Homo-oligomer: A and B are copies of this chain.
Amino acid sequence: MNDNNKKNHYRYSRQRERLLVILRSTSSHPTAAWLYDRLKPEFPHLSPGTVYRNLTILIEQGLVRKIDAGSTFDRFEAKTDPHYHLICRKCGTITDFEKRFFTEIDEEIRSSTDFAIDGHRIDFFGTCADCRAKS
């Protein structure tokens, strides 16, 4: 009956606002730990729980997305427009790719399964320019 355990409405929180601002100001797809370290000087009593709870809320609000890129930890991004990720096999860096979105492939899948497809995620793997320069 209850929609899991989502709140009725969200109250303003300075910590959450700053978290979103920082997340929007970087393209590095940071981890929760990185965000915590980044925010700690501003809020000396900040706790990891607060970071995680706020990330969850921001995700519920559709302002942030969680990324799995094969690590043991989660990464986050505030980009909400459709885009892909280029993941470097050497250094793990994630780079956004937004020049092209292959909406047409969903249609191809739809036509040959009984799955009701509403979206897709693509990660491209390879070696970034920096890593190639180093070897």
Interface residue A7 (Cβ < 8 Å from any Cβ of B)? no
Asked if residues A129 and B114 are in contact (CB atoms below 8 Å), the reply is: yes
Chain A: number of interface residues, binned into ranges: 35 or more
Asked if residues B122 and A120 are in contact (CB atoms below 8 Å), the reply is: yes
Of B66, B99, B126, the contact of A117 (CB 8 Å cutoff): B126
Nearest-neighbour CB distance to chain B for A14, whole angstroms, equals 29
Asked if residues A116 and B109 are in contact (CB atoms below 8 Å), the reply is: no
Interface residue A124 (Cβ < 8 Å from any Cβ of B)? yes
* CB interface residues, A 83-135, toward B, < 8 Å: 84, 86, 88-89, 95, 97, 99-100, 102, 105-106, 108-109, 112-129, 132
Q: Which chain B positions have C-beta within 8 A of A114?
A: 128-129
Of B69, B84, B99, B117, the contact of A125 (CB 8 Å cutoff): B117
Nearest-neighbour CB distance to chain B for A132, whole angstroms, equals 6
Asked if residues B70 and A86 are in contact (CB atoms below 8 Å), the reply is: no
Which residues of A approach B to under 8 Å, CB–CB?
66, 68-70, 84, 86, 88-89, 95, 97, 99-100, 102, 105-106, 108-109, 112-129, 132
